[in-house]
Amino acid sequence: MRATRICFQNVVQCFRVIRERPDTLREAFAHLFRSRMDYYNFEALQGVSFAIHDGEVVGIIGRNGSGKSTILKIIAGVYRPTSGIVQISGKVAALIELGAGFHPDLTGRENIVLNGLLLGLSRRKMQALEKQILHFAEVGEFIDSPIKQYSSGMFMRLGFAIATEVDPDILLIDEILAVGDAAFQQKCSARIDDFRQRGKTIVFVSHDMGAIRQLCRRVLLVHNGVLLGDGPADQIVARYEELLHKPGDTVISAPAIP
């Protein structure tokens, strides 16, 4: 029986959302003397439960604001759930946001070491992996430039190269591959296939249903913070497409969460 890498048990994630922001310095001072802040609690996830096992490639789909990225950030340790139980087994590498884990004033080469340290690897280990990372990332002479000068595609290439070369047990990908060109996307797909054949666990969030069908045998469907479906890719994607075209269906969009 395969080991469980990720387990969510009745997970709830709430965010406090402020209804208004002061537009002037006078309004800001006025807020300091109010008896209470005007806010409401937003439930990004509502009692979500699932388990993902060693070697599974699982897609997570749903409309914008449904809770997909919140799930990935909980797995990555960015958020601590409001309630429920989350169990993660193994080293996690995450491609969640462009630039996440990078320092804009450091060079690409320096950020390779920084990312490795954040993942718990030594400076010596990251320096040993540098050649392979540079070969895959294809950022050329920009590797010695501050990454604040990088394009979104260069960010993605370097981030993907680092995340996959450190050989994680769990790889999280959130739509980031969409910014790469076709040739690099093919390289990424080949590496993901290699991870899958080696028994790695991959969780993939995307609005590209073709990529979801190609990469994932199992898919989770999230809607308004609720897990609506968990099953074979074709079946769950079809259910999602029905949901998209369901007349009169309303979606509560999540507020912007940092």
pLDDT of residue 112: 93
What pTM was computed for the model? 0.81
Per-residue pLDDT reduced to its tens digit, 55-105:
899 999 999 989 999 999 999 999 999 999 999 999 999 888 766 678 999
Q: What is the rounded average pLDDT for all residues in the chain?
A: 85
pLDDT of residue 23: 60
**Angle 242-55-206 from CA coordinates, rounded to 5°:** 35
Q: If 0-12 CB within 10 Å is exposed, 13-18 middle and 19+ buried, where does residue 144 land?
A: exposed
Alpha-carbon distance of 200 to 51, in angstroms, equals 15
What tens-digit pLDDT sequence spans the chain (258 residues)? 678 999 999 999 999 877 666 566 666 656 555 556 566 788 899 999 999 999 899 999 999 989 999 999 999 999 999 999 999 999 999 888 766 678 999 999 999 999 888 888 899 999 899 999 999 998 889 999 999 999 888 888 898 899 889 889 999 998 766 666 778 878 888 888 888 888 899 999 999 898 899 889 999 999 999 999 999 999 999 999 998 887 555 444 444 444
Residue with tokens 């050649």: 131
Q: Where are the domains of the chain?
A: 56-83+91-244
The correct CATH number of 56-83+91-244 out of 3.65.10.10, 3.40.50.720, 3.40.50.300, 3.40.1550.10 is 3.40.50.300
